Amino acid sequence: MKKGIALLLAAVTAGTALLPASASSGSSAKSKDTGVTINVYNWGEYISNGTDGTLDVNAEFTKRTGIRVNYTTYDTNESLYSKLAGGGAEYDVIFPSDYMVSKLSEEGMLEKLDFQNIPNFQYIDRKFRNPKYDPQNAYSVPYTWGVVGIFYNKKYVKKEETESWDVLWNKKYAGKILMFDNPRDAFGIAQKRLGYSYNTTDVNEWEAAATLLKEQKPLVQAYVMDQIFDKMDSGEAWLAPYYAGDAATLVGENPNIGFTIPTKEGTNFFVDAACIPKGSKHKSAAEAYINFLCDPQISAANLSYIGYSTPESAAKKLLPKEVTDNPIYYPPQSILDKSEVFVNLPDKTNTLIDSLWAEVKMGGTGDTLTLVLVLCGFLALYLAIVVFKWRKRKKEME
């Protein structure tokens, strides 16, 4: 997830280039080095980095505040959780998705935010405040939002076929289909095809979705995340579900690639949010970073690069009309009405999902290596959680 050098945006409007300039114009003075460095852990390619004259968000933050940024990336919510649960990493700002915000806060793995240090929260639209995954907005500030759709190669796949998730089970595209390499998104597509909620706790419904994914597996070329960019761009794959914010990259770079939000069954509406993990050594500096990201000028410049949608009307007004009127980035209400948000599920259901996902990944012939890797992954995660909880209990007893 989440790559998006907004070539399309740059193509449709050279005016976008004005955003970085205006975003940085109010801060010509360079702040004195505070000696503080915050560790920021984000999705891959999920921040404007100064490429092609765009705003270098982290550099601008350092320039304005004197706080340095050590920036690293991850590729799934589950890998983020595993890293945090392991307890060995020290981060100050992370960007989990909705259901993962809920999971982390319920497990005591997030710091409560001091909104006195985040006055730019005022720019977050009311419809993005107090969400189900963080009802009191105690732990998170929305960073981006979007929906899931289907990338397709126009040379081989008709657009109307992609209006339903059924196309990902079409045998004529065997070997040319990619699927998400994370359980919530992969199961979610199967669940929508079956007419179930993403957030069901019905064992039979999860098992039915797993059966559907197992049926699909012989048609799947690979389970991937950001690798879809190379595979779709090269023509190695023709169909791939992914996040709408990334449409700018593929559609802008390759005229043979299209993107559709399936309207027949509905799709996932997601929000990624900025949070501070428990134990942050630089909490006030982390809150200053989150506040900086909420500045409408910064948000507009940042999101014009990464291609995702902003939760701020003030920032949206600064984006090109070609972008804000594009239904891929800002879908009409009719699509949003058929969309559903992931929520954190009970431990019992999460355990079931892990087990069923392992079955899906190890299914088929000649997949011994996959089985071994999946089992090792679950074992490593289990041990990490045990160690994390042991350390947490030890700290509480001290």
Count CA atoms within 13 Å of residue 196 on its CB side.
20
Q: Which of 243, 269, 260, 270 is nearest to 337 (CA)?
A: 269
Rounded CA separation 171/321 (Å): 40
Rounded CA separation 138/135 (Å): 8
Rounded CA separation 98/292 (Å): 21
Q: Is 196 within any annotated ligand binding site?
A: no
Spatial neighbors of 76 by CB under 8 A, at least 6 apart, are 1, 181, 182, 225
Q: What is the DSSP letter of 255?
A: T
Kind and range of the H or E element at 244?
Answer: none
Q: Is 287 within any annotated ligand binding site?
A: no
**Mutual angle of helices 203-216 and 183-194, in 10-degree steps:** 100
Q: Which amino acid is at 83?
A: K
Spatial neighbors of 41 by CB under 8 A, at least 6 apart, are 72, 73, 74, 80, 83, 89, 91, 93, 94, 95
H runs (alpha helix) in the chain? 7-12, 18-25, 57-65, 77-86, 98-106, 183-194, 203-216, 228-234, 247-253, 283-294, 296-306, 313-316, 321-324, 333-337, 347-362, 368-397
- Residue pair 72/261 in contact (Cβ under 8 Å)? The answer is no
Q: What is the DSSP letter of 287?
A: H
Q: Which of 95, 198, 199 is nearest to 139 (CA)?
A: 95
Rounded CA separation 380/81 (Å): 12
Binding-site annotation, residues: 45, 99
Binding-site annotation, residues for spermidine: 45, 99
